[in-house]
């Protein structure tokens, strides 16, 4: 009974992190330059993808519905089943078009996140310096170290994106191919996303400490209420139009605060 209020408080604290991060970005001018680049990249990428979807809406809809049969009625009474079937196919076609359009926008957002990863890494380091007065960095120093760390940030972000696409894509395919599986795959995708978002945005800080992927997964379980709280807030932020275009730097700052306040307990006490 004593653990439940603590878990609720930890969830609430995790949920507040993006809002605290937004206030920090508004307050600290030293963060705005690094934060503006990811926001600009996401705005450009999503705007370009949206423009392409609008420009090629007919082709996209035709590709999504190419598999559908052409229904026709030779006699008047055949419209009793042809008309409802046509309406049903039209609804399915609209849903598929929206799904493919959403996928195009999501791909653009992931691409922007990949391109912005070096700036995310630098932003996370600057936030850590502001909060703690120093940056824990187990990486190389000097100009070569900066270049390698930028490349590492992009490589690790690419791996995380590939991991996310592989898991969500597999669950989505299972839901499409197996009747009724959507009842399980839908909640599974949501649960996976709620855990992935904290993993993604806290990884810039964790990577500088050379925390392995296995240790990151253990970290998610060690601080589950706070992680889920942050993941829920990040997920809701991503659903709000226009706000989601500028959410990446806010979530990077929030993920950094999450990692600093809940450091991983590594094996052997390290």
Name 35's Cβ contacts closer than 8 Å, sequence gap at least 6.
25, 123, 249, 250, 253
* CB of 197 closer than 8 Å to CB of 207: no
Write down the pTM of the prediction: 0.80
CB count within 10 Å of CB 181 equals 15
Contact 97, 62 (CB under 8 A): no
The pLDDT assigned to 137 comes to 61
CA angle 229, 192, 256 (to 5 degrees): 45
Question: Which residues, 6+ apart, have CB-to-CB distance to 243 below 8 Å?
Answer: 237
What is the structure's pLDDT at 269? Answer: 45
Per-residue pLDDT of the chain (270 residues; tens, 9 = 90+): 446 888 899 999 999 999 999 999 999 988 988 899 988 998 898 888 888 989 988 888 887 777 778 887 778 777 788 888 888 888 888 887 877 787 787 788 888 888 999 999 999 999 999 999 877 665 555 445 556 777 888 888 899 999 998 998 898 888 777 777 767 887 888 899 999 999 999 999 999 888 888 899 999 999 999 999 999 999 998 878 788 888 999 999 999 999 999 988 755 444
DSSP state letters, 200-242:
HHHHHHHHHTT--HHHHHHHHHHTHHHHHHHHHHHHHHHHSTT
């Amino acid at each position: 009974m004593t653990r439940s209020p603590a878990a609720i408080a930890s969830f609430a604290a995790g949920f507040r992190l993006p809002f605290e991060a937004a206030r920090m970005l508004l307050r600290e001018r030293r963060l705005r330059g690094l934060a503006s680049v990811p926001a600009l990249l996401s705005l450009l990428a999503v705007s370009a993808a949206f423009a392409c979807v609008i420009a090629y809406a007919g082709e996209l809809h035709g590709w999504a519905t190419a598999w559908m049969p052409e229904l026709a009625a030779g006699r008047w009474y055949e419209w009793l089943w042809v008309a409802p079937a046509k309406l049903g196919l039209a609804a399915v076609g609209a849903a598929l078009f929206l799904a493919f359009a959403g996928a195009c926008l999501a791909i653009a957002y992931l691409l922007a996140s990949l391109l912005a990863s070096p700036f995310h890494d630098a932003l996370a380091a600057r936030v850590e310096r502001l909060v703690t007065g120093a940056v824990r960095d187990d990486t190389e120093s000097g100009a070569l170290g900066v270049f390698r760390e930028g490349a590492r940030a992009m490589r690790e972000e690419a791996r995380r994106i590939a991991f996310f696409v592989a898991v969500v894509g597999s669950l989505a395919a299972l839901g499409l191919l197996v009747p009724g599986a959507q009842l399980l795959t839908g909640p599974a995708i949501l649960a996976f996303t709620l855990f992935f978002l904290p993993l993604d945005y806290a990884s810039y800080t964790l990577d500088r400490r050379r925390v392995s992927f296995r240790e990151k997964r253990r970290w998610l379980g060690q601080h589950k209420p706070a992680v889920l709280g942050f993941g829920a807030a990040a997920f809701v932020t991503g659903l709000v139009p226009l706000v989601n275009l500028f959410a990446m730097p806010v979530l990077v700052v929030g993920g950094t605060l999450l990692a600093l306040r809940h450091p991983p307990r590594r094996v052997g006490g390290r």
